[in-house]
Amino acid sequence: MNKIIINLNKVWGKGGFFNLLKDELAFPDYFGNNWDAADECIRDLCWLDSGTTICFRNAEKLRSRNNLLYNDIMLFIKMSQEYWEKETSRKTIKIVVE
């Protein structure tokens, strides 16, 4: 089983979050660095192996620096978790916050 760590301690703004997603999750070159594009890519992930866990770390540190961005990211994570919990036809992807 693969585990991908997304360290939110490296994030200071929205652009940084999108760049981190693109780098750590190997989003395609056409990724548009916005919420809609992030949602589209996180729902695809055809390039990742089934059984992969995506682990977001240090969310609380982000919260203390940028509460609005923290709220947006947590909503994004929640929606992504809900999608992958229901999606069973293609592969298993687990998304967690540590």
Domain boundaries 3-97, corresponding CATH code: 3.30.370.10
**Which residues neighbour 84 within 8 Å (Cβ) at sequence distance 6 or greater?**
92, 93, 94, 95
Identity of residue 76: F
Can you tell me the distance from the alpha carbon of 94 to that of 57, in angstroms, rounded to the nearest whole number?
Answer: 14
Q: Rounded to 5 degrees, what are φ and ψ at 2?
A: -90, 145
Tokens matching residue 88: 């069973």
pLDDT surpassing 90 at residue 73: yes
The arithmetic mean of pLDDT across residues 11-16, rounded, is 95
Q: Quickly state the pLDDT bin for 72 (edges 50, 70, 90).
A: very high
Kindly report, residue by residue over 22-54, the tens digit of the pLDDT. 999 999 999 999 999 999 999 999 999 999 999
Q: Rounded to 5 degrees, what are φ and ψ at 7?
A: -90, 105
Kindly report, residue by residue over 79-93, the tens digit of the pLDDT. 999 999 997 777 899
Can you tell me the distance from the alpha carbon of 65 to that of 22, in angstroms, rounded to the nearest whole number?
Answer: 22
Q: Rounded to 5 degrees, what are φ and ψ at 56?
A: -90, 125
